[in-house]
Amino acid sequence: VAESLSVEAAPYRFSFDPAETALVLIDMQRDFLEPGGFGESLGNDVEQLRRTIAPLRAVLDACRAAGMTVIHTREGHLPDLSDCPPSKLLRGNPSMRIGDPGPKGRILVRGEEGHDIIEELYPVAGEPVIDKPGKGAFYATGFGDLLTARGIRRLVVTGVTTEVCVHTTVREANDRGYECLVLSDCVGSYFPQFQQAGLEMVAAQGGIFGWTAESAAFLAALA
C-alpha cells in the first residue's frame, strides 16, 4: 500500500497516501459558528470556534487541489424530529430546544439556514455532505459505506466541537480501523480547557485514538 506522504505529528509521524485519505469537516454550521446563531444564544463565545475558519480554508483548498476526497458533516434532524431521541431533546431543560424557532430558523433542523454550512467552507459540487442525527459521523448515516466505497483508510479530521462531535467521530473511526489525524488549529471548542485536553487525549498513550498535528505541518507534507 502506498504511503507516500508523512506529517510531523504527535505522538509520531503520520504517513498517508492522499488517494486513500479523506478530509472530513465536522459540523462547520452557521448555528455553531456565526454571531447571532444558536451557539452564541446559549452564551458561548463563537470566536473560540471561528479561529478555525482561516486555517481550515487553507487545508480545504490544498486538499481540493490535491484531488483528495472531501466530506462534510452536519448535525441536525428531520423536520418532524422523529430522528431525535427524547433524551437529546429534553436534556438540560434548555430554554431553546431542537426544533424551536431560533435566530436562524428552526434549531438543528435540516433545511434551515442555521443548520447549513458556513459560506467560507461551503461544499462544492461532488463533495458529499453527511447529515447526522448524533454526535458521531457513523451513527445512522451512510458515512461508513461512503468511506468503504471510496477505498478510504485514513481521515484528516477538522471541525467543531473538539470534545463532542470531533472526538465521537474519531473514536468511532478508530474502532472501525481508520487512522485519524486531527488538525489542532482546525478543530475548536467553546471551552479552552476542553480544547487542550481533547487534543491531548487523542495522541496520548502512543496515539490511543490517533494523531494530532498543526495544519502547517499537514500543508507542508501535501505541498
Is-catalytic flag, 27?
yes
Residue 70 touching ligand C5J (CB under 6 A): no
Is-catalytic flag, 135?
no
Q: Of these, 18, 27, 207, 209, which contacts ligand C5J (CB under 6 A)?
A: 27
Stretch that binds ligand C5J, among 90-98, 149-157, 161-169, 212-220 (CB under 6 A): 161-169
Indicate the residue among 164 and 186 with the shorter CB distance to ligand C5J: 164
Please tell me the distance from the alpha carbon of residue 38 to that of residue 97, in angstroms, as a whole number.
10
Grid cell of 155 as nine digits:
481521515
Is-catalytic flag, 83?
no
Stretch that binds ligand C5J, among 44-52, 140-148, 158-166, 204-212 (CB under 6 A): 158-166
Catalytic one of 165, 180, 185, 186: 165
Residue 160 touching ligand C5J (CB under 6 A): yes
Work out how close the CB of 166 gets to ligand C5J at its nearest, in angstroms, rounded to a whole number: 7
Residue 161 touching ligand C5J (CB under 6 A): yes
Catalytic one of 31, 84, 116, 132: 132
Per the CB < 8 A criterion, the answer to whether 165 and 74 are in contact is no
Residue 40 touching ligand C5J (CB under 6 A): no
Residue 75 touching ligand C5J (CB under 6 A): yes
Indicate the residue among 27 and 116 with the shorter CB distance to ligand C5J: 27
Indicate the residue among 63 and 98 with the shorter CB distance to ligand C5J: 98
- At a CB cut-off of 8 Å and minimum separation 6, what does 56 contact? 25, 28, 121, 158, 159, 183, 186, 215
Please tell me the distance from the alpha carbon of residue 126 to that of residue 204, in angstroms, as a whole number.
35
Indicate the residue among 75 and 185 with the shorter CB distance to ligand C5J: 75
Residue 165 touching ligand C5J (CB under 6 A): yes
The count of other CB atoms within 10 Å of the CB of residue 32 is 28
Residue 25 touching ligand C5J (CB under 6 A): no
Indicate the residue among 27 and 34 with the shorter CB distance to ligand C5J: 27
> Catalytic amino acids?
27, 132, 165
Binding site for ligand C5J (CB under 6 A): 27, 75, 160-161, 164-165
